[in-house]
Structure 1
Amino acid sequence: MSRSVLVTGVAGSFASLFARRLADLGEEAGISKVVGIDTVLPAGDIGRVKFVRADIRTPVVGKVIAVEDVDTVVHLDLHPPSRGRTTGGKELNVIGTMQLLAACQRAATVKKFVLGSSSAVYGASPRDPAMFTESSLARGGVRSGFPKDVVEVESYVRGFARRRPEVIITILRAAQILSTEITTPLGTYFTSPVLPAAMGFDPRLQFTNLEDAVEVLRLAILNDRPGTFNIAGEGVVLLSQAARRLGRPIIPLPPLGYATAARRVLRAAGSDITPDLHRLLTYGRVLDTAALRDIFGYDVRHSSLDTFEEFRRSVRPGVMAVMGGRS
């Protein structure tokens, strides 16, 4: 079966890279067309992807689905607030998803919906389990900001699944992707000349390799893999371990008010930190990926340490200047 795929948020660095690679697969791999949608032009070359400038918060997205005869929707237009875009996150993430799902519900051609979600749905708190499975509930840190957006987005997707039970729904909850090829919050943090950290905490961190993230998305499109799946490299990297390997000094800050103080330190150093990241950098988060291996059928190829080392070797002075684009 040849698929006509719509990728949202294609101006984002990861979405544009993925859409381009998907389009390059072509008819032989079962991809007849890839349509990328966003409100702004992608910064780089998107190859064979057909770009449509449109806002998923408007009815235009329904017209795009109809005109392009889309049968598979890949929703990658979820973004944490960032410098220069600190407001409107809920509208962009939650309202945009609601309108997109409404368009999909009306479109008889849509047979598959893949959500590029985030492990932020589990939050981060001192009461967290050693590992989060897909059935785990957040124990803290999802009452505001991007984590709350992700929780709401997933709830709307589950509601859509009840209204259109014939549509195959795949939700992919990825740990932070770490790569110099795309812009990510942790990538920005780790390339700062100093690393502010909460005193008394040494969080366990997991990373998703860019190639693993792309491959899981590709398999979700080409095969039928309904369900919710965690994606992360095996093992953990402690923040102190990451700092030593990068040769970056840790700036210890009091846990109370850490988020505000960390942003001030990083901005003084010419970097930034997203508001939702401070809890991860305090309490950490670890995912159980057994379902991805046993049910989805994908064995993650890169451990968290392998991914971090690949990132570390790629980091050079001024590297962030070429990591531009929306995250």
Structure 2
Amino acid sequence: MVSEGREGHVPRVVLVTGASRYFGGTVVSRLAQDPGIERILAVDTMTPGREALRRIGRAEFVRADIRNPLIRKVIDGGGVDTVVHAAVMSRPPAGGGRTVMKDHNVLGAMQLFAVCQKAPSVRRVVLRSSSAVYGCSAKDPAKFSEEMSARRPPRGGFAHDMIEIEGYVRGLARRRPDIATSILRFAPIVGPRLAAHGTQYFGWPIAPTVFGRDARIQLLHEEDAVAALTAAAQTAASGTYNIAGDGALTLSQAVRRAGRIELPLPFTLFRTAGRLLMGPVMHQFSTEQLDYFHFGCGLDTTRMRAELGFEPRWTTVQAFDDFIGGAALRPVVDPAWIDAAEHKLLGLLGAGTGAHQ
């Protein structure tokens, strides 16, 4: 029997969207290890491969489209009490454009949360969101807290989608106050399993950066992203949470740790000559990525620890290093050599300053 009230709720039947992809599938496999959960429904429009099906263990795969009203039969028929919505697209799919992406993200979420509102069994909803909702601009604070909004409206389609989807979750919370709704705003996610999706920029010997800017970046390890989604599904925490690793890196530090050579360019050239210089690599960059390389984004994670009770295992630097290590990139310049040269130069400058005093 489903527990009454948000604080006393213990998940019994959990539905996870995006089960054929990395995040959804890995969350399913982690939840399947919890003996307290009686049943797990892994939902996606695509059937997972043989290895992915093996990883989800005792979970039941259901091929369904959350944009279709028939998803209500899955939720009502299964007596689902907890929904983890991990199926969001950060870029248009191959062979599809922005319209396809928006249809999947926005219409899918709208239909799914409308069904959750009408389903009496549902007691918790968890959304995988993104720090992209804060945008990136020169007016940004050092760290965004959850109460803050973008200082300049985000330009990218993904950010617009997430802002709209978060609005649906808040609407659900108003209409069904008995449902605990958790919005997890992830910092950019990196890790060895995602290396193929993010290391194109660091795969070239020369890395263009924005002249006069050194974006401060905060990252989240892929394993911590999965752990946060799993924890939110298993607890009764309700609210919006920034999720990120401790510390930060400047873009120049990241380039150096990857063993690349930095090439500072004015932003207009960064978007044009930088793309020309790096061939197809930067052509694939989204608007959010270009703005992030320009300004960066810092997150206040106080609420993550105090209210959600979640502590990432990986710092930003550790996550980045594991990401680069997983990509097996061969350094163009040994980072240790650069560090030694910098220390030597600083020593010479210090000695020169002392001689003139």
TM > 0.5 fold call = yes
The structure 2 residue matched to 1:45, chosen from 38, 52, 57, is 52
TM-score (norm 2): 0.81
Compare the two structures and name the one with the higher helix fraction. Answer: 2
The structure 1 residue matched to 2:192, chosen from 180, 184, 205, is 180
Identity of aligned residues (%): 40
Superposition pairs for residues 100-249 of structure 1, below 5 Å? Answer: 100-182=112-194, 186-191=198-203, 194-249=206-261
Superposition pairs for residues 300-319 of structure 1, below 5 Å? Answer: 300-316=312-328
Map of 1:323 onto structure 2: none
Q: Is contact 1:233–1:300 with CA below 8 Å preserved after alignment?
A: yes
Change (3 A) 1:262 1:112: farther
Q: Is contact 2:190–2:320 with CA below 8 Å preserved after alignment?
A: yes
Deviations along 1:262-299, whole A, 9 cap, x unmatched? 55544435983233211111100000001111122222
Deviations along 1:284-319, whole A, 9 cap, x unmatched? 00000011111222223221011112222222259x
Map of 1:55 onto structure 2: 65
In structure 2, how many angstroms separate the alpha carbons of the residues matched to 1:273 and 1:217?
26
Q: Is contact 2:199–2:324 with CA below 8 Å preserved after alignment?
A: no
- Range with greater deviation from structure 2 (232-241 or 211-220): 211-220
The structure with the largest alpha-carbon Rg is 2
Change (3 A) 1:169 1:100: same
Residues matched between the structures, number: 315
Map of 1:68 onto structure 2: 78
Superposition pairs for residues 61-100 of structure 1, below 5 Å? Answer: 61-82=71-92, 84=94, 85-87=96-98, 88-100=100-112
In structure 1, how many angstroms separate the alpha carbons of the residues matched to 2:273 and 2:105?
27
- Range with greater deviation from structure 2 (293-302 or 121-130): 293-302
Superposition pairs for residues 25-40 of structure 1, below 5 Å? Answer: 25-27=33-35, 30-40=36-46
Over the aligned positions, Cα root-mean-square deviation in angstroms equals: 2.3
Q: Is contact 1:118–1:175 with CA below 8 Å preserved after alignment?
A: yes
In structure 1, how many angstroms separate the alpha carbons of the residues matched to 2:52 and 2:295?
38
In structure 2, how many angstroms separate the alpha carbons of the residues matched to 1:260 and 1:104?
45
Give the letter aligned to residue 278 of structure 1: L
Give the letter aligned to residue 309 of structure 2: G
TM-score (norm 1): 0.88
Structure 2: segments with no counterpart, 5+ residues: 1-9, 331-357
The yes-or-no answer on 1:8 pairing with 2:17 is yes
In structure 1, how many angstroms separate the alpha carbons of the residues matched to 2:196 and 2:180?
28
Aligned residue for 2:284, secondary structure, equals coil
In structure 2, how many angstroms separate the alpha carbons of the residues matched to 1:169 and 1:246?
38
Structure 1: segments with no counterpart, 5+ residues: 319-327
Change (3 A) 1:198 1:141: farther
Q: Is contact 2:135–2:154 with CA below 8 Å preserved after alignment?
A: yes
Aligned residue for 1:230, secondary structure, equals strand
